[in-house]
Structure 1
Amino acid sequence: MSLSPVNPVLDQVTRRITDRSQPGRAAYLARIRDAAVRGPARGQLACANLAHGFAASGPADKTALRSSRMPNVAIVSAYNDMLSAHQPFETYPAQLKAAVAQAGAIAQFAGGVPAMCDGITQGRDGMQLSLFSRDVIAMSAAIALSHDMFDAALMLGVCDKIVPGLLIGSLSFGHLPTIFVPAGPMTSGISNTEKSRVRQLHAEGKVTRETLLEAEAASYHSAGTCTFYGTANSNQLLMEVLGLHLPGASFVNPGTPLREALTAAAGRRAAGITWAGEEFTPIGEVVDEKAIVNACVALLATGGSTNHTLHLVAIAAAAGITLTWDDLSDLSAVVPQLAKIYPNGSADVNHFHAAGGLAFTIRTLLDAGLLHEDVKTVAGPGLRRYTAEPKLVAGGVEWIEGPAESLDTDVLRSAEDPFAPDGGLRILRGNLGVSVIKTSAVKPEHRVVTAPARVFDDQADFLLAFQEGTLTGDLVAVIRYQGPSANGMPELHKLTPALSSLQDRGQKVAIVTDGRMSGASGKVPAAIHMTPEAADGGPIARVQDGDLITVDGEAGIVELHVHAADLAARPVTGRALTDDEWSGTGRDLFAVFRRQVGPADKGASVFPTHTAPPAPAHVDNTPIDSILIEEHA
């Protein structure tokens, strides 16, 4: 079958990224190819090193590990039993080891990584560690893989910073084939519309805390990922479109026979794509420029989490690729909005999956020329494989052709009949800097706001003003000193019910902040991730109460109506917390991160990923699998 012609803008953006990234990407590929030609990793270890590596193994595993003939697969997990999304991973290692063994390889549990939940830490000091946890997870994954014992990896993670961190860490071992293994979403509970209604009533003081808790418990009610389309479920969609999940694995509920069959299939497949087989598929070659563009398109088409305007930039950089917000903005102009999943609609991810889910989404985007089909994946060459759906059969799982049409056009539509002609995320520019807005969650009549600023240096001060009833009239809430350098860029989703209440009273309301509002950004226009941030002396630090600000989600503008000379003459007001103040709840341990972190539009990373080493004079484009075939002939 011939490939569908690629949209000209998609092609142009991809070429631009490829050209811009050439030095860093060439250096990255040279590095992982150098690592790959060493053959079975543990075969390079001295006897004492290797003995340490299998000392605790059983007799059969010791025999296998003493030999260099059998691939060894690392298992790295974000398991804990407090977080619903990660609780199912408790039983995965044993199941994966058995599946890997069936495929003629061996597996060891290489290490665990931390997993924190933004839903639990909302509005708490611990939230100020959330974004930094991504890079801690990347480092933890790298430590797990650092023993040179492994020939492939299985990464177990689901939520917000965990999957991006695991992927960044995996890419630092880009010569290893790597499959991401999801746990799936919990079944649907109370409707998202009802949950939001109760939250807003509680913010207005009209229902009790007990009523609110009952509504929340009816929504977050069992093991599995939260069912709204926030960062966790955006993660799953992106891993599948990047070709790092098995097809259709993302949104199968935990504890079901199909979920168990997919987990076992992931273990078998990991064993099958090592150097020992004929389908060697290193993750560093899967995540290339075309794959990154595919991820951007899928995020835009489904109105995914704004957090990925940070994470995708950081992930790309880990693979030697330079992605910018301009790339996302240009793609957004031609990528239609295909899905309405809460907070962009009333449906949850289970409804999206039932309507045709990723199999249909990928199919319609491929047919419209809005995805690159010619990419590597862990399932084999070509993204068209991901238009198939897994079905349970005797002895495991098989893939059949997915739906050619949406089964519920209120939730999911084709590229020929979208909900909107452009993507659900946009980049805003103006004299305040550059920021991100999630337009798909905002009704058209609310997307343009010009109003006086109300300035706050802490979200708690805004909430107090709301409770005291002083937020009257139209307003643009400026919540500053919430960027990476100021306090770790905590999520400000706790502001959404109050802002929504003001809007429902008939006030024109928007928010401008250098902080985050996550994949759960709500119905109020929010110019978030503002860079340069206040702590770095950005213009947002010079805004004063009463200044007129325009937030225009249609035209892509965020503008402070103050003359440039007058603005420049103003002093910086407010301030970030000092190190002495930014302490307690573990924050003092992360002070070095706050000093090291880069800006939001560069991924808010503590890693120096944007200073790539010079590329070699001669770039060797030979695929790693060819090198290994020659090495082990």
Structure 2
Amino acid sequence: MPSSTPAPLNPIVAEVTQRIRERSAERRALYEQRMADQHKRGVHRGELSCGNLAHGFAACNPRDKGELKLMNSANLGIISSYNDMLSAHQPFETFPETIKAAARDMGSTAQFAGGVPAMCDGVTQGQPGMELSLFSRDVIAMSAAIGLSHNMFDAALYLGVCDKIVPGLFISAARFGHLPAMFVPAGPMPSGLPNKEKARIRQLYAEGKVGRAELLEAESDSYHSPGTCTFYGTANSNQLMMEIMGLHLPGTSFVNPGSDMREALTRYATEQAIRNTEPGGNYRPFYKQIDERAIVNALVGLLVSGGSTNHTLHLIAMAAAAGITLNWDDFTALSAVTPSLMQVYPNGQADINHFQAAGGMSYLFRELLAAGLIHGDIPTVFGTDLTAYTQEPFIENGKIVWREGPEKSLDEDVLRPVATPFAPTGGLTVMKGNLGRGVIKVSAVAEEHRIVEAPVKIFEDQNDLKGAFESGELDRDVIAVVRFQGPKANGMPELHKLTPFLGVLQDRGHKVALVTDGRMSGASGKVPAAIHISPEALDGGPLAKLRDGDIVRLDANAGTLEAKVDPAIWAKRELVVANLDHYHVGMGRELFGGFRHLAMRGEEGAGVFGGFEADDLARQQEHISQEDA
């Protein structure tokens, strides 16, 4: 058993949790009622007619078919993001057979319910395909829903790792909240070329000092085998947050693929998922496990680790799917009391394997629980509260056992105790002012670069910035404004391709920043970037009022973003109208016109599903008001 007892909850963490609970009360109650009603209607194949059921197991082997005809054993639905082109998802190829074998050994069954798309931002970065990236999250949620809609299942196993995949799977798990859910990762690839060297060669390439052959060699040495990329971007932020919400087994997030431990953890996840079903005797549905406490835990985990800016969108959409209203002010409030305990690239030079070796999740849990920074009393897929997550898995006699993890960090250059953090506050903050609201990640930005006041250079296509850099037009103090990059305009692509050029300018001694209604990425780096600016330029946002040469002040410390333009002139200035036709055709983008039309604002999660229960409650209130009138 764990040797430590959680401390009383930090007052600000408690206050923010209560504020979210009160803000969400009506929609959360409606969500829980809907999930309870779904449970009453039947969570598995017992509700199907004989014809329905015969179709559902027609392809099974005789043994599994026999089990499925009975109603007293569990049947697991496998939802997988497997494809063999992308390193993070390729290991999932063998997981279904492992899961099916483990289920049979438990006297149960598992079926591959459906696959979901998994695209890689690393491949599409700076390409037209990146404009489908954020929308793929919602496609994944819908794809998983289609797989589970056959109603053959007592629980679901979600196989996913990367950027939009896990948030999309989470949204689907929330809408099938009457089912127990187990998230099963594949793990990071072994370490490759050191991150500092990779960044150096990228910057040399941007300056024209090395060629494409040298750049490709460096990239190949970095991303070199099956598994997730090893820097601390959105994919690895996903894994940390799933574990800190209790949706992973303890210690499972950062175990390398292809290892005996990874295989053993996948088998154990299957066995535990069966135990969490109604036939397994310990019914633990998603909707009773994930509430505002788990969401706050995920948010604290994101902040304490200097995680991906993409989760200022994803977490809001994920919470909404579970009937919880989260906003950017919650991020800022928690950031003020959440110390920075991790330095993994781009926040430092270590990779996620170094974090794992330094003490990993078990040490991080121990520190957060001891400081009262997370809710330790939430239910988990492991069948306990979070105090069990200070343990890590080992193999003894062919079986997994859990032992207490390290009580001290094994490398304080990578992982620190709460008593001596890298910084006293978290790595994300909200930016606001007369240019709208956005977010900035400062965990990788040096203190001397956090305030920039300079003339703006405006771009309406990220590809134009490279030309301006090469011509010397940007060789000065400058704030690059890349607008018309929001979800309604072109799907809100990441603009990480711009980082090397802006980094060169900063290294030359210039004051440099980026302001955009698009995204950067989980790899947001040393250049200050105010991103996700909302409302976006296409949606009447004030970025469309800016003109070349306007002075803008970005103050990451104060959380302000202001155009220093005379208020009278600013009030009368018209919005620029851009021609966005080139964003809407080719590489499948024409198929997503409806998504662009429906897209919500960044602070609402930039999704296309609306507000779930919030929309229904608003319609009910409108109906009541009309009746009163």
TM over 0.5: yes
Deviation at 1:555, TM superposition (A): 1.0
**Structure 2: how far apart are the matches of 1:200 and 1:128?**
25
Q: Is structure 2 residue 192 aligned with structure 1 residue 196?
A: no
Residue in 2 that maps onto 1:54? 57
What SS is found at the alignment partner of 1:37?
helix
Choose the corresponding residue for 1:78, options 74, 81, 84. 81
Would the aligned equivalents of 1:548 and 1:560 in 2 still touch at CA under 8 Å?
Answer: yes
Report Cα offsets for 1:172-196 as digits up to 9, x if no partner: 1001001010000000000000000
Would the aligned equivalents of 1:129 and 1:587 in 2 still touch at CA under 8 Å?
Answer: yes
Residue in 2 that maps onto 1:590? 592
Deviation at 1:361, TM superposition (A): 0.8
Choose the corresponding residue for 1:305, options 303, 308, 319. 308
Task: Describe how 1:339-418 pairs up with structure 2 within 5 A.
Answer: 339-418=342-421
Deviation at 1:497, TM superposition (A): 0.3
**Structure 1: how far apart are the matches of 2:35 and 2:527?**
45
Would the aligned equivalents of 2:514 and 2:530 in 1 still touch at CA under 8 Å?
Answer: yes
Higher mean Cα deviation, 565-574 or 514-523?
565-574
What SS is found at the alignment partner of 1:398?
strand
Residue in 2 that maps onto 1:121? 124
Deviation at 1:286, TM superposition (A): 1.6
Report Cα offsets for 1:146-203 as digits up to 9, x if no partner: 0010000100011100010011011110010010100000000000000000000000
Would the aligned equivalents of 1:274 and 1:281 in 2 still touch at CA under 8 Å?
Answer: yes
Would the aligned equivalents of 1:100 and 1:270 in 2 still touch at CA under 8 Å?
Answer: no
**Structure 1: how far apart are the matches of 2:475 and 2:253?**
44
Residue in 2 that maps onto 1:112? 115
Task: Describe how 1:397-546 pairs up with structure 2 within 5 A.
Answer: 397-546=400-549
**Structure 2: how far apart are the matches of 1:464 and 1:165?**
36
Residue in 2 that maps onto 1:275? 278
Q: Cα RMSD between the aligned structures?
A: 1.3
1:94 to 1:545, Cα distance in 2 relative to 1, 3 A: same
**Structure 2: how far apart are the matches of 1:568 and 1:40?**
56
1:520 to 1:581, Cα distance in 2 relative to 1, 3 A: closer
Choose the corresponding residue for 1:599, options 598, 601, 606. 601
Query: Which ranges of 4 or more aligned residues in structure 1 deviate by more than 6 Å?
Result: none
1:574 to 1:206, Cα distance in 2 relative to 1, 3 A: farther
Q: Is structure 2 residue 233 aligned with structure 1 residue 230?
A: yes
Deviation at 1:39, TM superposition (A): 4.2
Deviation at 1:459, TM superposition (A): 0.5
**Structure 2: how far apart are the matches of 1:390 and 1:566?**
63
Residue in 1 that maps onto 2:175? 172
**Structure 2: how far apart are the matches of 1:311 and 1:192?**
26
**Structure 2: how far apart are the matches of 1:418 and 1:351?**
17
Aligned residue type for 2:72: R
Deviation at 1:71, TM superposition (A): 1.1
What SS is found at the alignment partner of 1:598?
coil
Report Cα offsets for 1:445-478 as digits up to 9, x if no partner: 1111111111111101111101111112101000
Would the aligned equivalents of 1:258 and 1:392 in 2 still touch at CA under 8 Å?
Answer: yes
Deviation at 1:283, TM superposition (A): 1.1
Choose the corresponding residue for 2:327, options 319, 324, 333. 324
**Structure 1: how far apart are the matches of 2:45 and 2:262?**
32
Deviation at 1:102, TM superposition (A): 1.6
What SS is found at the alignment partner of 1:411?
coil
Would the aligned equivalents of 1:300 and 1:332 in 2 still touch at CA under 8 Å?
Answer: yes
Higher mean Cα deviation, 526-535 or 566-575?
566-575
Residue in 2 that maps onto 1:217? 220
**Structure 2: how far apart are the matches of 1:375 and 1:564?**
49
Report Cα offsets for 1:285-334 as digits up to 9, x if no partner: 22110000000000000000000000000000000000000001100011
Q: Is structure 2 residue 610 aligned with structure 1 residue 608?
A: yes
Structure 1: segments with no counterpart, 5+ residues: 618-633
Residue in 2 that maps onto 1:624? none
Deviation at 1:504, TM superposition (A): 0.3
Aligned residue type for 2:521: S
What SS is found at the alignment partner of 2:443?
helix
Would the aligned equivalents of 2:246 and 2:379 in 1 still touch at CA under 8 Å?
Answer: yes
1:612 to 1:2, Cα distance in 2 relative to 1, 3 A: farther
Structure 2: segments with no counterpart, 5+ residues: 621-629
Would the aligned equivalents of 1:320 and 1:612 in 2 still touch at CA under 8 Å?
Answer: no
Choose the corresponding residue for 1:185, options 183, 188, 200. 188
Aligned length: 615
Choose the corresponding residue for 2:559, options 556, 559, 573. 556
What SS is found at the alignment partner of 1:573?
coil
**Structure 2: how far apart are the matches of 1:559 and 1:385?**
47
**Structure 2: how far apart are the matches of 1:10 and 1:381?**
22
What SS is found at the alignment partner of 1:613?
helix
Higher mean Cα deviation, 378-387 or 307-316?
378-387
**Structure 1: how far apart are the matches of 2:429 and 2:399?**
42
Would the aligned equivalents of 2:550 and 2:565 in 1 still touch at CA under 8 Å?
Answer: yes
Deviation at 1:242, TM superposition (A): 0.9
What SS is found at the alignment partner of 1:140?
helix
Q: Is structure 2 residue 264 aligned with structure 1 residue 257?
A: no
Output the TM-score relative to the length of structure 2: 0.96
Aligned residue type for 2:295: I
Deviation at 1:40, TM superposition (A): 5.1
